[in-house]
Chains A and B, each alone.
Chain A
Amino acid sequence: MITFIPRDKVSKNWIIIAPILSIVFTIFFGLLIFAFLGYNPLETLYQIFVSPFSRIDRISDILVKACPLIIIGTGLMLCFKSNVWNIGAEGQFIMGALLAGFIALSFPNIETKFFLLITILAGFVGGALWAFIPAILKTKLNVNEILVSLMLVYVAMLFIDFIVRGPLRDPMSFGFPLSKPYPEGALINKIPFPGIGFLGQLHYGILFVFLLVPFSWIFVNKTLGGFKINVLGSAPQAAKFAGFKQNSITITVLLLSGGLAGVAGVIEVSANIGQLQPEVSFGYGFTAIIVAFLGRLSPIGIFFAGIIIATVKLGADNAQMTMGIPKVVTGLFEGILLFFLLTGETLQKYKIKWSEGKK
């Protein structure tokens, strides 16, 4: 039998050594697997880990890919910290994008970029409304929020599919399920750098991340609201003793996380797609759950976790394109990386004891 015994103190050295060791182990096992499957192991490793950093425009693509993950992950952090399990960020992402898209397409000639404030707000409202359904069901009827939020993902997916095939389809799209292109005022532009031009796909939406991370850090660590979330998550009884209203906290965190997922949806569509289509997400809402936990439910951790996951995702794409390595293999590699990162984190806090087995 294996038992995990909490360590008295987490060693400061190991906080640095553990992630490095995790990566070393990941590389080692990655090499083994790639070699076993008949791919050039060093070349594969280069594609996954190094190629995303090999050019400055690729580095900026990491940021672009990480942007929705970090925004959604930050919202989910608030939920998970207060023991509210919102699994439906994917659906909230879609509904945010959809509501914003509806507003954007209602003003086909608008050019001023101030209009973006309205579409982003609409995205927040769309996502928040979608999260309000599990929130109200949980607080009023005690319905499990995991099931409701997850099932609403599929409702949202089918709903956007219906919208772009029906009401919002562009008559000029030659039968493709696409909406009209967004007006200029609803598009997020790429950032021009003097002397260099554009850096990959790097767009102004990334500024939102750099605002959100410090802002959410302050909220979690320095405000009454963050304290309430923390207490509710670690000791619900104590939250009652302090007179915090559990239901209003639950509703607030669900609305905030839904809203942030919605904003991520707006930014993703307005910056990278420019119109509505059946698929706007690519699983960001689900990947962000991993990002939130990998970042140990802290804003700064989530920022770096978003970067790591985005890097590996892009690296996997590169490996697929240049070497023809199937997605499942690179998916396996992502799994190994997560496994070792989480193991490293666990072993910082616990030591393992092997005791004689019982039958």
Chain B
Amino acid sequence: MAKKELDILLKATKICKSFGNFVANQNIDISIAKGQIHALLGENGAGKSTLVKIFYGVLQPDSGSIEINKQKISITSPNIARKNGIGMVFQHFSLFPALTVAENILIALDNKIQFKKVVDEISKLSKEWELFVDPLKLVSELSVGEKQRVEIIRCLMQNPSLLIMDEPTSVLTPQEIKNLFKILKKLASSGCSILYISHKLEEIIELADEVTILKSGKSIASIDAKKTTTNFLAETMVGKKITELKKAIRSKSKKIAFEVKNLDKLKDHEFGISLRNINLQVNYGEILGVAGIAGNGQVELMKILSGEINSKDNDQILLEKIPIGKTNINERRKLGIETIPEERTFHATVPNLTLSENTFLTYFFKYSNTKSWITNLLNNPQNSLDESKKIVKNNDVRCPETNPLASQLSGGNLQKFILGRSLANNPKVAIFSQPTWGVDIGAATAIRQKLLDLSQSGKAVILISQDLEEIFELSDKICVINEGVLSAIFDVSEITATDVGLLMGGKNRENQKMDPIK
């Protein structure tokens, strides 16, 4: 088959790239054969994205050389990359939601051709590669999987010899992933090479021919993907043995901690999601996992659960049967409900403020003296320095200096800080959204362990996550959110990943009757 061909399509030697003092890529060598699916594996911040951005001409290397078909070239812009047959599908799609599929593709083409021709070409390609998508549909009406197909078609229009895919599966359901893999394998067998970036090990073993592992900006190994194991890959990637989660058997209480009843919320902007008839409940000592692909209403749900916005009726949200739907976020904090939004910077923290100021951000009411408005006014972040030091110490947050700016912490350490800040308030109910998203494996394990410990100490936890593995690993009960509708709640023992995948793809919407909201 194709992978037996030994012709090298792209060969990069000694690629170096630094940003200021930070070395993102250091002497990276990689060669991709024609028709090969080559995986690039590494933790967040290992330099994967930098490397492929260099291949696609978005970034320029400081030194090193790139050969395509044994010709040395310098890729100074994406334009030149495309002319040399390199196409790229980004992790975050670059499509205009208000335009149709065909219009979006037309805009991106280097050679302008007629609109009708574009439509024909799209129909032809989508049949040929089973990338089914209607060229005249508005992008805002497409599912995430369909949007990704549009991006792939956009690349295929240029007849690429190398297709770069940056973490393509992070937004897909298991079924959509299967479909994508089928397409990628078909593309590879027709001679198109694929550079596939991921940190998911199973995927790589299933899909790739060869895998190059990056760690702290260096390429540390190139391995035949068919002859390796996930364990070996994981240990090579992280550089140490991964500690396993300690999951003790819990005595399940039957006491309901937190409930949401018949909650509706109309979307507040055009591309937002309306929440429809949300019902959920979680008991003390239990983790409820809310699975779902990002952008299906998690952000909206989180705002209303945290109290950033209020529900319409006070009794739509209940804490121990007491209505709290109309309380604000700080009143809920006082009641013992702690929330963490998925956006770490700019939402959970302010990047240009110090950790003590960021501690003060969610706890200023704790230090406030309600007796006198003047002491309340003079209440300031200095008061929370000790508290923030405690959070840093107790949660193993690694800081470059005492009391650094939030922006100086790595994603994992910042998330540990945010989690610690919430836990320091000793919550009864913890609602966390995507707590390990984009966090390195070490920090993710620590965070997951904290969630388990929390539920084992009798607290109620709601975990909103798009990471299915995480949901199954931690949750006692599982439900799925899709287009603003929440599925029924299942016990973890009575549902499989496939079922969850189907629900994530919107299966429940067909079976469930909905009342349209006015």
Is the Cβ of A8 less than 8 Å from the Cβ of B20? Answer: yes
Pick the contact of B361: A7, A241, A356 (CB < 8 A).
Answer: A241
In the complex, A6→B352 CA distance in Å?
A: 14
Q: 6 A-B residue contacts at CB 8 Å?
A: A7-B20, A222-B378, A238-B346, A238-B348, A241-B361, A243-B307
Q: Which residues of B contact A224 (CB under 8 A)?
A: 364, 368, 376-380
Q: Least Cβ distance of B269 to chain A in Å? A: 12
Is the Cβ of B341 less than 8 Å from the Cβ of A227? Answer: no
Q: Which residues of B contact A358 (CB under 8 A)?
A: 76-77, 79
A35-43, A126-134, A229-237: which lies at the interface: A229-237
> Of all chain A residues, which has the CB nearest B379?
A224
Number of interface residues of B (CB under 8 A): 38
Which chain A residues have a beta carbon within 8 Å of chain B's beta carbons? 5-8, 222-225, 227, 230-231, 234-235, 237-238, 240-243, 355-356, 358
In the complex, A225→B329 CA distance in Å?
A: 18
Q: Which residues of A contact B21 (CB under 8 A)?
A: 8
Q: Which residues of A contact B349 (CB under 8 A)?
A: 235, 238
Q: Least Cβ distance of B515 to chain A in Å? A: 29
Q: Which residues of B contact A222 (CB under 8 A)?
A: 378, 380
Q: Does B2 contact A (CB under 8 A)?
A: no
Q: Which residues of B contact A230 (CB under 8 A)?
A: 353
- Digit string of B326-361 for contact with A (CB within 8 Å is 1, else 0)? 001110010000000101011111111100010011
Contact of A243 with B329 at beta-carbon distance under 8 Å, contacts A8-B21, A231-B361, A356-B76 already known: yes
Could you say which of A231, A237, A241 has the most chain B C-beta atoms within 10 Å of its C-beta?
A241
Q: Which residues of A contact B60 (CB under 8 A)?
A: 355
Is the Cβ of B330 less than 8 Å from the Cβ of A243? Answer: yes
Contact of A234 with B341 at beta-carbon distance under 8 Å, contacts A223-B378, A241-B347, A242-B362 already known: no
Known: A224-B368, A227-B364, A240-B308. 7 other contacts (CB 8 A): A8-B20, A225-B377, A234-B350, A242-B364, A243-B307, A243-B328, A356-B76
- Digit string of B18-37 for contact with A (CB within 8 Å is 1, else 0)? 01110000000000000000
Q: Least Cβ distance of B204 to chain A in Å? A: 34
Those of B375-403 within 8 Å (CB) of chain A? 376-381
Q: Does B212 contact A (CB under 8 A)?
A: no
Is the Cβ of B346 less than 8 Å from the Cβ of A235? Answer: yes
> Of all chain A residues, which has the CB nearest B76?
A356
Q: Which residues of B contact A223 (CB under 8 A)?
A: 377-380
Q: Which residues of A contact B380 (CB under 8 A)?
A: 222-224, 227
Is the Cβ of B346 less than 8 Å from the Cβ of A5? Answer: no
Contact of A5 with B20 at beta-carbon distance under 8 Å, contacts A224-B376, A238-B349 already known: yes
> Of all chain A residues, which has the CB nearest B377?
A223
Q: Which residues of B contact A227 (CB under 8 A)?
A: 357, 360, 364, 380-381
Q: Least Cβ distance of A305 to chain B in Å? A: 22
Q: Which residues of A contact B381 (CB under 8 A)?
A: 227
Q: Which residues of B contact A6 (CB under 8 A)?
A: 20
Q: Which residues of B contact A243 (CB under 8 A)?
A: 307, 328-330, 333, 365
Is the Cβ of B341 less than 8 Å from the Cβ of A241? Answer: yes
Across chains A and B, which 5 residue pairs bring their CB atoms closest together, nearest first?
A: A243-B330, A237-B347, A235-B346, A243-B329, A235-B350
Is the Cβ of B378 less than 8 Å from the Cβ of A234? Answer: no
Is the Cβ of B350 less than 8 Å from the Cβ of A238? Answer: yes
Contact of A234 with B361 at beta-carbon distance under 8 Å, contacts A224-B377, A241-B347 already known: no
Contact of A234 with B353 at beta-carbon distance under 8 Å, contacts A241-B348, A243-B328 already known: yes
Q: Does B311 contact A (CB under 8 A)?
A: no
In the complex, A243→B337 CA distance in Å?
A: 14
Q: Which residues of B contact A238 (CB under 8 A)?
A: 346-350, 361
Q: Which residues of A contact B193 (CB under 8 A)?
A: none
> Of all chain A residues, which has the CB nearest B360?
A227
